[in-house]
Structure 1
Amino acid sequence: MNFTHISLLKFNCAGMLLFSFILSNFAVYALYKIILDDIKVVFNIKLFNPKKLFLLFDQYHKNEYKSDVCLIIRSFGGDSYFLNYTMNSVDQFWPSTFPEKIIVFDEGEDYLIDIFKRIEWKFYTEKFPPPIKISDGFIGKQWSQLNSDLYCNKSEYVAILDTDSFLSTKVTPDLLFNPSGFPFLQLANIFQRRLWKDDSTIMGFKRKYNGMVKLPFVIKKEHIRKCRKYIEKLHNNTLASIVYAFPDYCAINLLSMFIFRFHKKEYDIRYSHKSEPIMQYTVHLPYSFSFNTTIENYKRSEQFIQDINTIMINGICSSFMPNTIEYCAGIQSNFEYYWKYNILVWKNIENINKLYQDHFIKMWIFFEKCSQNLI
């Protein structure tokens, strides 16, 4: 589907090279005279798309990131139905200046690499060590997330994303790191009781908080390795054997427990029940109460795909100043799922509007500076 913007934008962006311009599936921008001040050359561009505008934004703000982040998705054939949509959301909204986007499949799923292969993505297949087998499913995927660092060679941080999670707005420096350069770690005091016992047994201490409340889960690469070594030393066994013996566990919970116990000062920890809020820039769709996820076989339904498209369109519309895109007229920009994950919601909500404005107005001002005026 195409959405046409009938207004003309006059951009004035210093020193930026503009890339090839293609039609977007979500919006078409008509531009009049893009002027590069530094070299005083005028380009007449008729077609532009939001992805290219986001690339422009990323180039201007790349120095605000003190570290690179590797985004990794542990997928498999069963999720191939919607993996393209996950990748689309990453390609649209994830910072383009980060060097690594990784997808890991099960052993024997090399054919999926040919199906999903894209420029700027790297793909791997992974064999589970004994006693874990492919048929163990959940156990193996969680084990794999505890080895995410092994696939990220160029970055200091790893961002772990589930296949059924979709970026919902342009990801900017303020969403990943605080002003001091520490990544955000969101914790909640409401968690899955079923996983509490095995999480606590594996780590050797009681789990106090739920760390599986914000995706992607951003963690220093070194801390994944240290957590793995800590668990193996504690139990004097291989990680695969340990998690196989205690299968009701969550990898991200284990990693958050390790961070909270041993590396607390290297993160900006936010507690859902008492801290100042931070935005959720990803929707873990099957667990979002902002959508009707009670439909039978939701993840294989047409409604699931429609909801993904809604998230994508809303993400584009909210990233630009209201009324910039004709199609977006009347669409709200501050969506409930920016602040909620499942039943978890920030208790301290007084500053949500300010936080929303601080994030989006910075983008709007950037594009406003690029634009002489909206005609």
Structure 2
Amino acid sequence: MKIALVHDYLTQRGGAERVFELFCKRYPGADIFTSLYDSEHTIDLGNRQVHTTILQNIPKSSRHFRLLAPFYFPAFRALDLQDYDLIISSSSSFAKCVRKRPGAIHICFCHNVTRFLWDTKTYLREYAKFKKMSPVLEIIFKYLRKVDLYYSQEPDYYIANSSIVARRIQKIYRKPASVINYPIDSNQFIFSEKKDDFYLVSARLMSYKRVDVIIEAFNWLGWPLRIAGTGPERGRLESKALKNIQFLGHVSDAERSLLMAQARSVIVAALEDYGLVPVEANASGTPVIAYGQGGILDTQVPGKTGVLFNRQSPDAIHAALLEASEIAWDYAEIRNHALRNFSEEVFFKKVDQVIEEVYRLYKP
């Protein structure tokens, strides 16, 4: 069986890219396709050939990839995938629209519906530099929503990373979706029952991550907080933080793993579609203090693996931190929870079952 793996763009190393990396390792003989590829800033694909679209030829395209939004659909449609029996797309926007030959199967692992089209206000709030262009963008986005809906029918089957994303796929694309929570590479994380006297945030410093309310809560408490990550919000956030809060900037995977294992808790204040960070923390034996909406509800057991708060506010985080400090955490059981439910072995066992079922349903 000839397999094609397709991802929206490989220009960064986020959660979606880390999951795609696992697929590439799982299927070493598969061919890899994407719109744009920047080997220095994305997942390590070794010597694998990466097939890109015509957009790769545009100067500085990987740096300004968001500006190319109207051109991704035709670029992916132009890819020649006629020789492949199985297409696995990893998509939160465009990769789902690739063409397949009659009789081939296309399964889309959907990280989200196309967010900038269906949650435009939030998107523009995060990228303030585009806000002045909003009247023009809305005209473009209105057209692109129709295109997105049309091409959303291309995959034979959808797999969502969380229950909330499955509901969005059903609501917007009118397609059913199975839920398979995405895994982490447990070998990358160190288990430790000895916790140091600090808390950790590991996130891109974007407005929707709500690191600002975490900082305010720690300003009140005076407890030590370390923040790993970079982003456009860093300057503003540093100006709000007191001396008990340390900004680490970009850290290596090895440094991040050590921080995860040593922290008393990892704090997450964003409404995440899924969120790998809480699962990564659990794989390190570390409890999570998180906003109790979205994908977090698929991965955490309150009182066992973490504490959830119900408002994105400093006082709610403050209360959750105090509650967590009173719990006698079973760090080994926290790690076992992650390994039982979110290992690669568990994930791909479910994936194989879905692929077999889809072949029974759709193969001529």
Normalised by the length of structure 1, the TM-score is 0.34
TM-score (normalised: structure 2):
0.35
